[in-house]
Structure 1
Amino acid sequence: MSDIATYDAIIVGGGPSGSTCAYNLVKAGLKTLLLDRANFPRVKLCAGWISPPIWDVLELLPEEYTRGLWKWNKVHINFRGKKYTIHSDGYFVRRYEFDDFLLKRSKAETVEGYNVRHLEKDNEGFWLIDNKYRAKYLIGAGGTHCPVARALFPEKDNVQCGTQEREFEGNAEEIASTRAGKDGEPEILLHDDMKGYSWNVPKGNWLNVGTGTKIARDVLPAWNKARAFFEGNGTPGTIPVSSRPMLDKMKGHGYIIFETSYLKYCYANNVFLIGDSLGLAQPMTGEGILPSVISGKLCAAAIAEGVPEKYKERLRTHPVIYDYRLLYGIQTRAKKFFDEKKDKHYRKSWLRDRIIVKVFAILFSGKPIPGSRIFAAFKK
């Protein structure tokens, strides 16, 4: 054992959930090690959209974030042939910068470029990694394919959602010409079947374009339609000809969005899952950074207070995760209803479409479901 480094906690994964957990553990005085297979800063496929509540969770003011930050107050949504501009709030970052910032801010001992291969418990009840590192607590924060989740928790058998996206730097004037509004204001193409959406987000000299669908196999045809839209809509927001070759080099990945049943697998035997390793992305919009940092902070608090078993209940009842539970229930019931009606002709309704777009804008800004807090209070 003398050759094995011992810690209070080891975190596998240095994204927002892992770095937030590490930050709070270090602040509490726990000896913490963070392992990640990548070397930071690293490219992370993500639009970089963060919700305003994140700053309170991170205990950080927006002006204290020293990398690129784009605040927006309007979202431009295209849905079933109409365009809606709705007042909403949010921020965009470049994940290349954001994740690196949070990791460095954590002050945790970090080993980058490290692949975790083997996990086991030693004869003292500590978790042992590759016979090199050991700790009482082990935290899986390695995303959808987290080695901790794969080795120690049941495999999730649901279908992953899929994305195709690209972020690239271009000429400032050309990037400006792609804007549907001001710099940083997102243009959204909400898919007619409401099973995904596509986006065009200008960020200064950078442009992030992509498509996300609830079922991974649907993403390529959805992206082809979105590309045609963003290249040929002939309005502000049209991607210029000179930038279009960049869209030939899209990259894809899949991840798991929230289901209520996942929460029961967030903790066992001093092992925790946080962020995308658990599957916490918002069930309707797929936004995963806010729930990731929430879970990281709650996990660290439970460990620091010596009550690791309370992580599960604290996560389940957190206002944001409570909202996700409600959304998941609504989504499940709505899917059943629309499946029953799928053979009937679609009847146009401007009011229904307007409500759908408005609700999407509310969720896109990270705001709670209207009335959910009242509902929760009565439930208590």
Structure 2
Amino acid sequence: MSTLSTYDAIIVGGGPAGSTCASILVRSGLRTLILDSAHFPRVKLCAGWLSAPVWDVLGLSPTEYTPGLWAWNQVHINFRGKKYTVKSNGYFVRRYEFDDFLLRRSNAEILEGYFVRQIERDSEGYWVLNNQFRAKYLVGAGGSHCPVARALFPKPDNQPCGTQEREFEGIPEDIAASRAGADGEPEILLHDDMKGYSWNIPKGSWLNVGTGTTVAREVVPAWNKARAFFEGVTGRRATIPVSARPMLEKMKGHGYLAFHPNRLRTCQHDNAFLVGDALGLAQPMTGEGILPALLSGKICGMAIAEGAPETYSERLRNHPVISDYRILYSFQQLVKKILQGRSSKKQPASSLSDRLFVRVFAYLFSGKSIPGSRIFAAMRT
């Protein structure tokens, strides 16, 4: 009989995916341990964007979330020299607060500042971590560099996206005087090559500014252009106050994986599972990561709690949100081919196609489902 500390499930990573999975397992009576290398609350590079479906996944209403929350009902999008203000809706949070809120809410046992360096399987089929903890189920929720993903799962086929971003506190009066719209309303700069976008988000006395690109090596040049845009170097009205600009000298970068259908085939084996950014589920066109992280954590937790862990992959694949992502991925690949053809023929984009692209982006930015997506998904099956 093992003398190690034994649990029903161990979750490596205490972010939204891990804490949501843990919450389900704990409520089902399973002894659950969360291990994380950080100490919470911790800084997390992320814009903190929540689409409306997040609250349904969490089983919460926005009023039940007690830390800072910024609701918005329109988005200011800049694309190819024109500005569009489009009706849309969602929320922003500070990940420093949001992740800690979810982690404490899970009621799981938590060990912070703990690094997983060794993963083995014993003679009883239990997963053993650092020769200290063991569990029947092991969930990798440690983000892009999850030790569970690296040790037990194949390397992803797709290349990571890149980001440069920073969230920092500024002078509230300066931020209010400079922002593009109301407090919490996002300002978006869609890149002309349609391979990424940049953002400037006021959150009271805080600003979250950054750039994301589908090709990691292109993120720094894209950020330099975005910074000049937001600071008004291009001749437009600056939307980042002068007092806040020194903070932009200390941007931080990281990579993440956008959704790829192949990842759904390798999200579990032998009672080991991947969820959230450890799996690579960010929405393929907008990069939204919190919703699929929460969703995958919840689905994984439910599959384990209901005694059907082998159904996790199928449940995830068939969920309406992930079905939408599969459609969007296919659409994205088609658009890439069209743009490559247009580039080779040097055909200029039309103002009509630009407006359509902006409207589609704003629609997806709200987290709404694709009209008729279930029909498309059935046709693809």
Instruction: Establish whether TM, by shorter chain, passes 0.5.
Output: yes
TM-score when normalising by structure 2: 0.97
Q: What root-mean-square deviation, in Å, do the aligned CA atoms of Structure 1 and Structure 2 show? A: 1.4
CA distance in 1, matches of 2:347, 2:84: 21
Task: List aligned pairs for 1:62-81, cutoff 5 A.
Answer: 62-81=62-81
Match of 1:171 in 2: 171
Q: Which moved more, 1:226-235 or 1:259-268?
A: 226-235
How much does 1:236 deviate? 5.8
**Per-residue CA shift, 1:11-52, capped at 9, x if unaligned?**
000000000000111011110000000000000000000110
CA distance in 2, matches of 1:378, 1:250: 44
How many pairs does the alignment contain?
380
- Structure 1: give runs of 5+ residues left out of the alignment: none
- Asked if the contact 2:229–2:236 (Cα under 8 Å) also holds between the matched residues in 1, the reply is no
How much does 1:377 deviate? 6.0
State the SS of the aligned residue for 1:343: helix
CA distance in 2, matches of 1:251, 1:379: 39
How much does 1:237 deviate? 5.5
CA distance in 1, matches of 2:50, 2:156: 26
Match of 1:95 in 2: 95
TM-score when normalising by structure 1: 0.97
**Per-residue CA shift, 1:285-330, capped at 9, x if unaligned?**
1110000000000001100111111001000000000000000111
AA matched with 2:31:
K
AA matched with 1:124:
E
CA distance in 2, matches of 1:72, 1:125: 48
- Asked if the contact 1:75–1:186 (Cα under 8 Å) also holds between the matched residues in 2, the reply is yes
**Per-residue CA shift, 1:136-185, capped at 9, x if unaligned?**
00000001110000000101142211000111101110111231111000
CA distance in 1, matches of 2:23, 2:92: 22
How much does 1:235 deviate? 5.4
State the SS of the aligned residue for 1:281: coil
AA matched with 1:86:
V
CA distance in 1, matches of 2:81, 2:333: 27
CA distance in 2, matches of 1:241, 1:223: 18
Match of 1:331 in 2: 332
How much does 1:345 deviate? 2.0
Match of 1:252 in 2: 253
AA matched with 1:49:
W
How much does 1:365 deviate? 0.7
How much does 1:217 deviate? 0.4
How much does 1:273 deviate? 0.4
State the SS of the aligned residue for 1:14: coil
CA distance in 1, matches of 2:235, 2:343: 33
Asked if residue 270 in structure 1 is aligned to residue 271 in structure 2, the reply is yes
How much does 1:242 deviate? 1.5
How much does 1:374 deviate? 4.0
AA matched with 1:266:
C
Match of 1:349 in 2: 350
CA distance in 2, matches of 1:189, 1:173: 23
How much does 1:338 deviate? 1.9
Match of 1:145 in 2: 145
AA matched with 1:281:
A
Match of 2:224 in 1: 224
State the SS of the aligned residue for 2:208: strand
Task: List aligned pairs for 1:286-301, cutoff 5 A.
Answer: 286-301=287-302
AA matched with 1:278:
L
Match of 1:340 in 2: 341
State the SS of the aligned residue for 1:144: helix
**Per-residue CA shift, 1:88-139, capped at 9, x if unaligned?**
0100000000000000000000000000011111111111111110000000
AA matched with 1:204:
G
AA matched with 1:251:
K
AA matched with 2:239:
T
Match of 2:10 in 1: 10
State the SS of the aligned residue for 1:254: strand
CA distance in 1, matches of 2:105, 2:206: 25
State the SS of the aligned residue for 1:99: helix
State the SS of the aligned residue for 1:217: helix
Give aligned-pair identity as a percent.
70
State the SS of the aligned residue for 2:144: coil
Match of 1:210 in 2: 210
Q: Which moved more, 1:337-346 or 1:85-94?
A: 337-346
CA distance in 2, matches of 1:81, 1:236: 13
CA distance in 2, matches of 1:150, 1:43: 23
CA distance in 2, matches of 1:296, 1:352: 37
CA distance in 2, matches of 1:47, 1:137: 31
How much does 1:9 deviate? 0.4
How much does 1:347 deviate? 1.9
Match of 2:311 in 1: 310
Task: List aligned pairs for 1:96-175, cutoff 5 A.
Answer: 96-175=96-175
CA distance in 2, matches of 1:236, 1:74: 19
Q: Which moved more, 1:327-336 or 1:5-14?
A: 327-336
